[in-house]
């Protein structure tokens, strides 16, 4: 009984699911802990209600531990953000999240996906490269850091067949 309860609360295999408005606060928390300019709960609420935005959550037990957000326009989409709870990184969890997210984009008729990633963000670059994205451009000094430093962005693309 205790084993079942603990699996239900915090364990079991992670599941990738459509996010709902009830997730907005948790997604904002995860985003804020992952990026310098965090998106607020209101921004997530807006994205979760927009028809052209696709948001997936990664849930383990009762806890949401990651998310992916894309914006669609005709047969193209841009991945706006993806993040995993810092305590859960390095376990390969983002791959299933990303691939499931891409599958849903394909199901919505998306044929080409773009994203921007900071050049030195090795975990993200590795994730995207292994998921079939290729570098198509580089933007010098694109991201301004809180300390005033500027970092380069890579523009990546993947075609869905």
Ligand X SMILES: CC(C)(COP(=O)(O)OP(=O)(O)OC[C@H]1O[C@@H](n2cnc3c(N)ncnc32)[C@H](O)[C@@H]1OP(=O)(O)O)[C@@H](O)C(=O)NCCC(=O)NCCS
152 forms part of the interface with ligand X (CB under 6 A) = no
Answer yes or no: are the C-beta atoms of 126 and 90 closer than 8 Å: no
The contact mask relative to ligand X for 86-105 (x = CB under 6 A, - = no) is ---xxxxxxx----------
Among 29, 53, 112, 121, binds ligand X (CB under 6 A): 121
Q: Does 34 bind ligand X (CB under 6 A)?
A: yes
Q: Is 130 in the site for ligand X (CB under 6 A)?
A: yes
Piece of the chain touching ligand X by CB under 6 A; list 41-49, 83-91, 100-108, 143-151:
83-91
Q: Closest Cα partner for 76 from 98, 104, 121, 109?
A: 109
Parallel, antiparallel, or unpaired for β 112-118 and 76-84?
Answer: parallel
# binding residues, ligand X (CB under 6 A):
19
7: helix, coil or strand?
helix
- Under the criterion CB under 6 A, does residue 12 sit at the interface with ligand X? no
Helix (H) or strand (E) holding 32: helix 24-34
Question: Which residues face 115 on adjacent strands?
Answer: 79, 156
Residues at the contact surface with ligand X, assessed by CB under 6 A: 34, 82-84, 89-95, 117, 121-124, 126-127, 130
């Amino acid at each position: 009984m205790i084993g079942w309860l603990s699996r239900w609360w915090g364990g079991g295999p992670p599941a990738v699911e459509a996010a709902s408005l009830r997730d907005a606060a948790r997604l904002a928390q995860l985003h804020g802990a992952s990026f310098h300019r965090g998106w607020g709960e209101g921004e997530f609420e807006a994205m979760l209600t927009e028809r052209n935005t696709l948001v997936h959550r990664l849930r383990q037990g009762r806890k949401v531990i990651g998310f992916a957000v894309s914006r669609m326009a005709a047969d193209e989409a841009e991945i706006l953000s993806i993040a995993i709870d810092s305590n859960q990184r390095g376990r390969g969890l983002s791959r299933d999240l990303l691939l499931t997210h891409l599958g849903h984009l394909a199901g919505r008729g998306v044929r080409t996906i773009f994203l921007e990633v900071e050049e030195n963000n090795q975990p993200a670059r590795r994730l995207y490269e292994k998921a079939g994205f290729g570098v198509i451009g580089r933007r010098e000094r694109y991201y301004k850091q809180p300390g005033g430093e500027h970092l380069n962005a890579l523009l990546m693309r993947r075609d869905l067949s």
